[in-house]
Amino acid sequence: MPFINEILKHKSLSIVGMEKNTGKTECLNYIIKRLEAKNKTIALSSIGPDGENIDQVTETPKPEIELTRGNIFVTSELHFRQKQLIAEILDLSEKQTALGRLVTARAQNKGKVIISGPSDTVWLKNVINELDKYNPDIILVDGAISRKSPGSPSVTESIILTTGAALSASINSIVKKTAFVHQLINLDVFEIPESEDLLSIERGLWAIDENNKIHDLEIKSSLLLEKSTEKLFRHGNTIFVSGILTDKLVDFARLQKNISSTTIVVKDFTKIFVSPEKYSVFLAKGGKIKVLLKAKLITVCVNPVSPEGFILDSEKLCDKLYQTLGIPIYDIKSIKL
């Protein structure tokens, strides 16, 4: 029963796709069936819609999400009306999505549902906190269209990453792209007593001096860096980026004489939007990137079938990923339930 016992060590899990059609829903259905076989109660949500039988982007068939009696799910009013099961309504949100309010419900029999949860991670985190009061054994979150934000350790305790032929027709290319995300997930944690203070900062660039004192650099975003470059290192070489980290800041930092003592800190790996090439050059010159919160990666699952119709060698893909990442890799379709 691969990785299921590891999942149950955590209260929440998000399934994050490297790209659309990399097997997130297939993986989710496998996990649901395995947990149900162990008589575990599941609470399920997503960021955005999922569970349609036809992919709205590629117009290709996709697995539907099936739940059994006792499991809890969160979806929009629109998709709640389309459910193929009987459900008890537990809660109705005041806040609206584009598809109506969110309905929290408990399945009363076996059937299929479309899950369309909160539209942003802040709301998603609140939904997860609310689901916890129903005492599920685990809360599952399905991502959408390659958004990695549900995988933030501030949202769920653990993640599963899905990858595959939808990324590329080349196994080497898939491995390279997946390895980069794996590297980001496993970045070292930046630990100081003031970490909670940093996590509470909502915007801007900040400096952390040698005494761990936090200084506002008065730069609202790394995207506005060119107007304030002289401010960046006035309090030392450790910079905290409260929002997203882009190539612009990494490019500027790598040109500094003190790059070998420069550390860029972000909240977690989902905030990093740096190209693999820029990232590699920055690290090669001695720069460091660290996170305040580290994600727990359970495993990587692969889908060797592309929506364009070509099929990669699953065994070769899994083996190459394993050799590169050093963690268990699974093709869910090849595992017997």
pLDDT digits (tens, 9 = 90+) for 116-170: 888 888 899 999 999 999 999 999 998 754 446 667 888 899 999 999 999 999 9
- Could you tell me the CATH number of the domain that includes residue 206? 3.40.140
271 three-state secondary structure: helix
Same domain, 13 and 124: yes
Judge if 224 and 299 occupy the same domain: no
Range of the domain at 61: 4-186+295-334
15-19, 142-146, 177-181: which is most confident: 177-181
* 158 shares its domain with 262: no
pLDDT tens for each residue of 57-99: 444 444 679 999 999 999 999 999 999 999 999 999 999 998 9
Question: Is 187 or 257 the better-scoring residue by pLDDT?
Answer: 187
Query: Do 89 and 215 fall into the same domain?
Result: no
Domain holding 179: CATH number?
A: 3.40.50
Q: What is the pLDDT of residue 335?
A: 75
Number of domains, the chain:
2
129 class by beta-carbon count within 10 Å (0-12 exposed, 13-18 middle, 19+ buried): exposed
CB under 8 Å, gap of 24 or more: what pairs does 91-99 form?
91/130, 95/123, 99/49
Do 264 and 140 lie in one domain? The reply is: no
Do 214 and 286 share a domain, yes or no? yes
201 and 245 belong to one structural domain? yes
Contact between 329 and 164 (Cβ < 8 Å): no
Residues 238 and 327 in one domain: no
d(CA 299, CA 188): 19
Cβ atoms of 242 and 203 within 8 Å: the answer is yes
What is the pLDDT at residue 287?
95
User: What is the pTM for the complete model shown?
Assistant: 0.88
Average pLDDT of the chain, as a whole number: 89
106 with 235, same domain?
Answer: no
142 and 15 in a common domain: yes
pLDDT of residue 51: 42
